[in-house]
Amino acid sequence: MKLSGLLLGALTLTGSSMAMAATLTVEVNQITANGVGASLGTVTMRDTKQGLLVEPKLSGLPPGPHGFHVHENPNCGPGMSNGQMAAGFAAGGHFDPMHTGKHSGPHEKNGHLGDLPVLVVDKDGTATLPVLAERLKAKDVPGHALMVHAGGDNYADEPAPLGGGGPRIACGAIKGAAKSAMAGMKHMQGMKKKM
């Protein structure tokens, strides 16, 4: 990507050892068959050596494990499912750029690239436990959506398809990376002035 190249160049020139700060922040909202509802908080995503680190700061969710995926379209609106309008179906299916057609979770190579580890929600309805998606990079996810399902995820298509998470209850469109790269650059320029 051109921008990250520029940023890398700038970092090299200043001789800084600071890591590239390409953090994506996604606002996550409640969703229903009628549309997109209240904000539940944000999820940030950034590259680490081990993979894409996904850090939720959410509240107002039902306690327990929830299916958590990157879906194809950056649209959290309702759409048709089995002949009726359903929450979040405008986001399409699980992000699957290799067209594997398989839901096999975050650790299997041959499956949806968008399959994340389950999102764990505490008794008080908050989710703050980070998950690590070892096969994803921050550059892969802009232009798609983060989706939270009502049920859990067994990382398989059996006994129920797509991990068995069922209805879609919360969603956030993932906006472009360019903005955060620019913010990183501005930050670096600010640092330079202070030096």
State the residues that interact with Zn ion by CB under 5 A: 94, 103, 112, 115
CB of 135 to Cu ion, least distance (A): 16
Output 11 or 133, the one with its CB closest to Zn ion. Answer: 133
Amino acid at site 52: L
Residue 35 CB neighbour total at 10 angstroms: 14
Look at residue 66 and give the partner it binds from Zn ion, Cu ion, none, a contact being a CB closer than 5 to 8 Å depending on partner kind.
none
Look at residue 72 and give the partner it binds from Cu ion, Zn ion, none, a contact being a CB closer than 5 to 8 Å depending on partner kind.
none
CB of 126 to Cu ion, least distance (A): 21
| Token couple for 60 | 């107002």
Amino acid at site 47: D
CB of 172 to Cu ion, least distance (A): 12
Strand partners, 86: 79
Q: List Cβ neighbours of 119 (8 Å cut-off, separation of 6 or more).
A: 56, 58, 61, 65, 66, 67, 68, 127, 129, 131, 148
Output 46 or 69, the one with its CB closest to Cu ion. Answer: 69
CB of 69 to Zn ion, least distance (A): 5
- The answer to whether the CB of 55 falls within 8 A of the CB of 100 is no
Instruction: Give the HSE-up count for residue 165: Cα atoms under 13 Å, Cβ half-sphere.
Output: 29
In the window 30-89, what residues touch Cu ion (CB under 5 A)?
69
22, 147, 169, 174: which one contacts Cu ion (CB under 5 A)? 147
Q: Applying CB under 5 A, which residues contact Cu ion?
A: 69, 147
